[in-house]
Structure 1
């Protein structure tokens, strides 16, 4: 399933215009990544590094292409008036399993600093809702992200689920 998502995204990348915008699924995804890590008003170095590593691992880009994707995603997030513009792009591009995987990536970012702020929680919940990911799948994705981060469920201050 993960390989299917990467193949799909790599195919989209081949069709990417010179200046990517929010209609590009990769840019929409990165914009939502920025929205989550910025939800608490602080983007620290750990979160920035986690963002970069997720982009390298999940999208298979690095160097200039990664910087361009990050800049486009950050700009799209700054200019956005709502989350729907990004989630609607992803809803057209991703199947149900890929949507759940995407929500799990958001949780990885929310826990990058070892703490999930209630505003980060709300943003992930809202994105999951707009993408049609059930509460059950959202919570399971959160638990997988916690396990991957080596954090016991409930140990990260701010846990509300």
Structure 2
């Protein structure tokens, strides 16, 4: 992707110059973060609870410091805003994530969407679109949504 991304990972995680496989894995993590940023951006409103949830997800998932997560979020948002479509991110995820990892990613998307205790139609549409592009079966898309709703005590008629 962008050279700035590789520079970030070199600084934040001390990636050796010749470590192509490590750099590739970190680029995949950035692609994952960019897809999650798409959910935060979907309703055209930066909700603090969603940003905090995204920060916590990235910190836990990638074992980064708060400062590294802040920089990763900035880079991921910039990448998502500059991208014409989701292809570059989805392509990396499809090529390197197993099916269970993709379902887990969709579940993280639902967690972000519900972080502010409400689900915007744009958020749901974006998750549905990304789940389709990730080849996640509709039944798993729905199961992930229901799991998050149950965890958060959301009742749906």
**TM-score normalized by the length of structure 1:** 0.79
1:56 and 2:63 are equivalent in the alignment? no
Give the alignment partner of residue 144 of structure 1, picking from 147, 151, 154: 147
Which structure dedicates a bigger proportion of its chain to helix? 2
In structure 2, stretches of 5+ residues that fail to align are: 1-12, 16-21
Residue 63 of structure 1: how far off its partner (Å): 2.4
Between structure 1 and structure 2, the one with the greater Rg is 2
1:45 equivalent in alignment to 2:48? yes
Structure 1 position 153, deviation (Å): 3.1
In the alignment, is residue 29 of structure 1 matched against residue 36 of structure 2? no
Q: Which residue of 1 aligns with 2:104?
A: 101
Given that residues 27 and 76 in structure 1 are in contact (C-alpha distance below 8 angstroms), is that contact kept between their aligned partners in structure 2?
no
Residue 126 of structure 1 is aligned with which of 125, 129, 135? 129
Displacement after TM superposition at 1:51 (Å):
0.6
Q: CA RMSD in A?
A: 1.6
Task: Give, in whole Å, the separation in 1 of the partners of 2:48 and 2:89.
Answer: 25
* CA–CA distance in structure 1, aligned partners of residues 95 and 75 of structure 2: 20
Q: What TM-score, normalized to structure 2? A: 0.81
Aligned residues: 137
- 1:16 counterpart residue number: 23
